[in-house]
Amino acid sequence: MSLASLSTAARIPPYLFNTDHRQRVLAQLRSKATGLEKYIYLNGLKERDPNLFYEVLLGNMLEIVPILYTPTVGDACSNYSHIWRRPEGLYVTIESKGHIREVLRTWPAQQASRIAVVTDGSRILGLGDLGANGLPISIGKLDLYVAGAGVKPTTTVPICLDLGTNTQRFLEDPLYLGVRRRRPDTAEMDEFMHEFMEAMTEVFPQLLVQFEDFSTDNAFRYLEVFRNQYRVFNDDIQGTGSVVLSGFFNAARLSAAAAGTPVTDQRILFFGAGSAGIGVAKQLLSFFTLQGLSVEEAKARIWTVDSKGLITADRKGLQEHKKFFARTDYDGPALTKLEDVIAHVKPTALLGLSTVRNAFTENVVRQMSSLNTRPIIFPLSNPVSLCEVDYEDAIKWTNGSVIFASGSPYKPLEYEGKHYEPGQGNNMYIFPGIGLGSILAKARHVTDSMVEQASIALSGSLTEEEKAAQLVYPRLVRIRDISCQIALAVIRAAQKDNVDENKLFRNLSDQALLEYIKAKQWQPTTLSSQLPRL
């Protein structure tokens, strides 16, 4: 008898009904030797059984998020042309300039699509220009929209703009997936981007666009050009700013309580002044202004450092985005060593967005420790291989006093008989909620106040137990609930700014709206309900 002639019931072996597929998936996943193999396995599972994939993801966030997202998604991107299995996501190449609309129309469910993550692959995490290999970052972020906010998978659109790459090893790699050319000049790229955004709005009328991992100049430029025209936000600038502000509220409270000083006495030093560093610095202005300081007073409490040292206004050829925080109160010799900058600034907080692995050396960390009862040290560069300092070292060198959050995850640890739990200062805590709120409110734009209110909602979402454990971010397993609270704050801010096209929520109480948002979250159906009845 051929297999095809067997009845469906007969083809399904009996064990399917008395074991839990989720356990089988986890056992298979855990048998893989490397992160990359785990990524490939999960990618295959998503194709075979998306429902089961999301069930396993939702039930095992702490184990699986670091595979689909930072750090392992960094390996997946770096190797994407080699591990590629099947088309997933949408490539829009520079060669389609002039007919981008037709390319977008090949995507199914155009009317139903709600959220696109769009990268041009030019600065993937801290890994540089990965060209067309950047697609997994869009896919990973959208997996977090599904897992973290309950956005329906079929309404998500991962996009990689394949504009070429300036990374020679990809241009020479016979397996490289992308177009084999160097990146366009600014004029050609601008033309492409304008056509792309116009076409996106036409083809996907309900869609919110999240710009992801564009190189710094383009990240700032396209945010400014498009933010008042389209439904768009930049995750690296606004999402990161919002998430770090949130953790900083909680960290400053802990550090001020330990030192017995006012919270506004914070002096913040940024190591790294790219889209993320400056995006966060700008957002941290509100840490001070929300407590009554002026913007000038807030700015005076922030210092920025790039690869040339402390950024001062008298430096020749300073890039536009660095000018705002350039110091005018220092005219000594250039301070190029981090230790010298710290000695000059005497910061309470040191934030790393530099992509420089181990830049926060033992000397640097001990220096911070000698200046502060509880130093705030946030090494935020991704993936882990580019993190400014490992958690264990930060704990050891501060004798446990550090208030720590990193961009990529670290595990809790024991040190001299005490338990320590790190924070993860990653925009993954905030963009799902910003996106969900914007989608539900049908916000025409993502305003500054929506981003700020998202941050305040996240910082206020700590439970009593999390506060007692001195965490600065809530536990990841609660992300769906947290995203609802963030979405509520985002919707209210959209209403205040009058950018909400959906006015229906205006008459709902916070409680009713929160319940509505929760009820709207997509849930994977259980596997057994999918199997044919016998």
* Numbered residues of the known binding site for (S)-malate: 123, 382, 426
Should residue 55 be labelled a site residue for ligand PYR when binding is judged by CB under 6 A?
A: no
Locate 26 and state its tokens: 């986890």
Nearest to 215 by CA among 191, 192, 183: 183
Does residue 236 belong to the site contacting ligand PYR (CB under 6 A)? yes
- The option from ligand NAI, ligand PYR, Mg ion, none interacting with 155 (CB < 5 to 8 A, set by class) reads none
Q: Is 130 in the site for ligand PYR (CB under 6 A)?
A: no
141 is catalytic: yes
CA-to-CA distance for 377 and 77, rounded, in angstroms?
Answer: 28
**Exposure string (b/e) for 486-502, b if CB count within 10 Å is 16 or more?**
bbbbbbbbbbebebbee
Which residue is it, tokens 């991107």?
Answer: 77
Q: Which pair of tokens denotes residue 284?
A: 């941290």
Q: Is residue 129 a contact point for Mg ion (CB under 5 A)? A: no
What distance lies between CA 166 and its chain's CA centroid? 24
Q: Tell me which of ligand NAI, Mg ion, ligand PYR, none is bound by residue 432, counting a contact when its beta carbon lies within the kind-specific cut-off of 5 to 8 angstroms.
A: none
One-letter amino acid for residue 427 of the chain: N
CA within 13 Å, CB half, 471: 21
- The least CB distance from residue 253 to Mg ion, in Å, is 27
| Total residue count of the chain as it appears in this document | 534
For ligand PYR, the closer CB: 138 or 255: 138
Nearest to ligand PYR of 42, 125 (CB atom): 125
Provide the annotated binding site for a divalent metal cation. 212-213, 236
Give the type of residue at 458: L
Q: Is 138 in the site for ligand PYR (CB under 6 A)?
A: no
Residue 306 binding partner per list ligand NAI, Mg ion, ligand PYR, none, with a CB distance cut-off of 5 to 8 Å that depends on partner kind: ligand NAI
The closest of 525, 426, 373, 531 to 73, measured between CA atoms, is 426
| Single-letter residue type at 292 | G
Among Mg ion, ligand PYR, ligand NAI, none, the one that 52 touches (CB under a kind-dependent 5 to 8 A) is: none
User: Is the bond preceding residue 383 a cis peptide, omega within 30 degrees?
Assistant: yes
Hey, which residues does 96 pair with through a beta bridge? none
Sorted by sequence, the CB contacts under 8 Å of residue 448 that are 6+ apart come out as none
Q: Which stretch binds Mg ion (CB under 5 A): 109-117, 235-243, 322-330, 348-356?
A: 235-243
CB nearer ligand PYR, residue 125 or residue 441 = 125
Smallest distance from ligand PYR to CB 109, Å: 26
Which of 55, 143, 236, 388 contacts Mg ion by CB under 5 A? Answer: 236
Does the protein bind Mg ion through residue 306 (CB under 5 A)? no
Cis peptide before 71 (omega within 30 of 0): yes
213 binds Mg ion, rule: CB under 5 A: yes
Catalytic residue among 141, 282, 322, 442: 141
What residue ranges bind ligand NAI (CB under 6 A)?
Answer: 123, 125-126, 216, 236, 240, 243, 271-277, 305-307, 353-356, 380-382, 386, 407, 425-427
Residue 235 touching ligand PYR (CB under 6 A):
yes
The letter for the amino acid at 456 is I
Instruction: List, as residue ranges, the binding site.
Output: 123, 212-213, 236, 382, 426
Residue pair 177/84 in contact (Cβ under 8 Å)? The answer is yes
> How far does the chain reach from its first CA to its final CA, in angstroms?
20
Q: Which is nearer to ligand PYR, 235 or 306 (CB)?
A: 235
Catalytic residue status for 69: yes
- Contact residues toward ligand PYR (CB under 6 A) are 70, 125, 213, 235-236, 382, 407, 426-427
Catalytic residues: 69, 141
